[in-house]
Structure formats: C-alpha cells, structure tokens
Amino acid sequence: MEKLVIEGGKKLQGEVKISGAKNAVLPIMAATLLTDETCTIHNVPKLRDTMTMAKLLRSLGKNVDIEKDCVTVSSKGEISYLADYKLVSTMRGSFCVLGPLLAKLGIAKVSLPGGCIIGVRPVDLHIKGIQALGAKIHFEGGYVIAQSKKLQGTHIYLGGVSGSSVLATANVMMAATLAAGETIIESAACEPEVEDLANFLIEMGARIKGHGSPQIVISGVKKLHGADYKVIPDRIEAGTFILMAAAMRSNIVLRDVRYNHLSALVDKLEEAGVKVIKEHNMIRVKTNKTIKPVSVTMLPYPGFPTDLQAQFMAVMAMTPGISVITDKIYPDRFMHIAELNRMGADIRREGSSAIVQGTKAIYGAPVMASDLRASAALLIAGLAAEGTTEIHRIYHLDRGYEAIDEKLAKLGAKVSREKE
C-alpha cells in the first residue's frame, strides 16, 4: 500500500493535459459486449477502474488489449453471462454490464456493485428500467439475475428521489439498442458521459436520438457492429485541477478539455473571483490573491456536479468567510469533513449541507482517504497547507486520476508517492 506525501505551499504554474473521462469509458467498454466485432477505444485513462473493467470483460470471455491510451476489445467466442462478485464488488461502474449481457444473451447474472463508501446508492432504477423492457428479475446470493427471451421497447420514466441516474440511464439505453421496437427514456441523465456512450453506440449501428436531453429515444436494431471511437476529456479531472489552481491562487493552463462541460463550476468560481478563460481546446485559469466565499448546491447535470463537491469544499475551507455547500444527489457524501477539520478547517455538517467557516490557513497532517473525490479534496488541502501532509489509502485516488502525482510535479508541486 502507498501514501502520498505533499509539501504544501508550492505555487502551481504551467500546463496539464486532461485524460479521457473515466465515467464515460467504463460504460463504453461495457457496451462492447453488445457485438461480436472488434471495438477500438481511444483516449482511455490508465486507472484502477479501467483496469478492473478490462479484467471483467476478460472474465466474461472477451479479448482486451491495452496499448498506451488505446483499448481494443475483440471476440474469442461465446461470452459468459456471469459477472463475478470479486470484480463487480470493487467498482460500482461495473454494474453497467447488466444491460449489454441481457440484451446480447437473454440472461445476465451480475453481482450487486461496490465502489466508494459515500452513502446509499441503490440499483432500483436499473432494475425498474430493465423490468420495463420485459425482463424477469430476481435476487439470489448477492446477485441480480435477469432473463428475457426478447426485450421489448417501451416508455420508461427513470427519475428517482435524487433525480436522474447516469449509470441506470446507461444500462437501460444499452439494453434497449437490441430490443424490439422503440424505447423512450423519460428523466434520462443528461451528463456528457451519457451522451458520449450514446455516440459510441451510434457508431456501432444503434439508432438513438435525444441523448444529452431528459428524453432519449432508442429504436432497436437486430445487430450492432464494431466501432472506432475517441472518449471525451474528463470534466471532473479538469474541474479538480481548476480548483487546485484556485486553492493555490495560481495560474495554470489545461489542455484537451471541453469548456462547455464545466459551466456550473465556471459560474461559481467567477462569482468567487477566479477567472476561467476558454481558448480553443484549452482553459486558462487566473486566480487573484484573495477570493470570496460562495455557496453552492450539487444537482444533476447541467447543475454543479456532486463529483466536485469535496474539492470545492476544500477550496472554500481556505477562503475566509462563510459558505454553505449542499449535496442533493448524495446527502451523505461528507466523509471528508472530519479529515479536512484535522488540518485546521472549520466545517460542520447540518443534514445534506456543510457550513464552511473559511480560514486563512490550514496545516499539514496525516489524513485518510475515504473515497475517490474525498482523496482529491485532501490533495487540494495538502497542496495549500502549511507543512507536510500524508494522504493514506491513495488507491482511492488512483481509481479516478491518471498519474496525478506526475502531472502535479510538472506544475511545480512537491508530491511524492511512498510505501506505507
């Protein structure tokens, strides 16, 4: 096991290249189960999660070849309908093999998922959508078992208590591509990662309209073919680096990034006094010596992303004044508060909100990462803290950020990876 050691207070400057989107690549890799032909996926980040998905696809009977940022998935015969607990339980995103396996084979047995511990994240919307397509579902020994001789297109409302679900939308959309007739998904997730998956499926021969909106229409086809596709940049990685620059009151440039995917973050940072400037496929971040506290509520896209909540909180913890951060998507996603407070932050939780009393300085300390985005928040705090910070359990960080210590070193940070 490794830890990250950060010497705080080093200004960031220079350029950083943003990797492909983790939350787009995982369902896109799962979608290759829908065809016997070869699929080539470019701009794939080298992460623990993408490696786990590659292992899962191999366990299901696919050939998976990885060369730099290119993943090639090909067939070597019949695929299995069993997605094993040992792999699915380590990563929630792997649950999205349910839809493709069911559509291709007529049966799927998929372990209930795992991943980060950020509160209850049920699979009820996945089940609701798959059942609406005509599948019979039961649970046995920690597995979801779905069966259908032929899925039938239908009209599905997929909204939940906290709004739409990205992974459920992906699962149902993939299953519907091979269903008979037309499927309409209402209250579909609008996130760029869902739109990217739809574009990949269209390259495979699927007939999809409305992706990127709350209503997606899928006209089922008999067969899908191979595709060659480049994944979009990771907006959460981009947002994390922008927030690092804000915390360090630094000026940096991000390359290979889509400005329009970051509108909610840009709006809040400009309110705080941070300039985020679009230049072709680049973003230039310019931060004043002082920034203002702002309050924000996490909402489904195009609202402020829950995956940037912890990182934004770290910045506000070092911004004098009071800000209120509310998470309507995952109201229990606040495990980073205790660790930030260990570093001198003044944050208290009230229900689904955190009240942040910003301070002028925080201090390095040994801290423990509880989940992927909490890790990033602690990293931001460590970069800005006085003294040295040690972040333990950084395997969480490696699930979603490609070579982040190397990228930070190029920006002038003093970060090293050491054995525990």
CATH of the domain at 28: 3.65.10.10
Tokens at 68, concatenated:
């730099």
Domain enclosing residue 103, as ranges: 22-229
Q: Are 14 and 26 part of one and the same domain?
A: no
What's the rounded Cα separation, in Å, for the pair 343 and 255? 31
Q: Based on the domain organization, do 40 and 179 belong to the same domain?
A: yes
| Cα–Cα dist 346/408, whole Å | 27
Structure tokens at 152: 């039938």
Q: Which helix (H) or strand (E) holds 256?
A: none
For the chain, which ranges sit under pLDDT 70? 114-121
Q: What does the block give as tokens for 194?
A: 């869902």
The reply to whether 30 and 13 lie within a common domain is no
Reference 282, options 259, 309, 313, 264; nearest CA is 259
Shared domain check, 14 and 55: no
Q: So what's the pLDDT on residue 118?
A: 45
- Cβ atoms 214, 7 nearer than 8 A: no
DSSP category for residue 146: E
Same-domain pairing of 207 and 128 = yes
- Indicate whether 90 and 122 sit together in one domain: yes
Residues 247, 9: contact at Cβ < 8 Å? no
**Shared-domain flag, residues 267 and 173:** no
Give catalytic residues, as residue numbers. 116
- pLDDT, residue 115, reads 47
Token readout for 361 is 């300085």
Considering the domain architecture, whether residues 342 and 402 belong to the same structural domain is answered as yes
Cα angle value 159/165/166 (rounded, 5°): 140
**pLDDT tens, position by position, 116-169:** 444 445 789 999 999 999 999 999 998 999 999 999 999 999 998 888 999 999
Query: Is the Cβ–Cβ distance between 379 and 407 less than 8 Å?
Result: no
Phi, psi angles (nearest 5°) of residue 211: -65, 140
* Residues 376 and 391 reside in one and the same domain: yes
| The two three-digit tokens of residue 112, written as one number | 């209930």
Angle between helices 22-31 and 166-176 (to 10 degrees): 20
Q: Which two tokens stand for residue 222?
A: 């008999």
Instruction: Find the distance separating the first CA and the last CA of the chain, reported in whole Å.
Output: 6
The CA-atom distances, in angstroms, between 56 and each of 33, 40, 51, 131, 370 are 11, 17, 9, 24, 24
43 lies in the same domain as 164: yes
Over residues 53-94, the pLDDT tens digits come to 999 999 999 999 999 999 999 998 999 999 999 889 888 889
> What is the total count of domains within the chain?
2
Residues in Cβ contact with 260 at an 8 Å cutoff, skipping those fewer than 6 apart: none
Tokens coding 371: 């989940």
Among 398, 407, 406, which Cα is nearest to 49's?
398
Q: What's the confidence (pLDDT) of residue 379? A: 98
- The alpha carbon torsion through 130, 133, 134, 139 (nearest 10 deg) reads 0
Nearest one of 275, 296, 270 to 353, comparing CA atoms: 296
Number of helices (H), then strands (E), belonging to the chain: the values are 14, 24
- Using CA atoms, how far apart are residues 201 and 95, in angstroms rounded to an integer? 18
Choose one of 177, 209, 229: the last residue of a domain: 229
Domain boundary, last residue among 229, 251, 283: 229
Q: Are residues 308 and 176 in the same domain?
A: no
Of 204, 229, 254, at which residue does a domain stop?
229
Q: Are residues 264 and 368 in the same domain?
A: yes
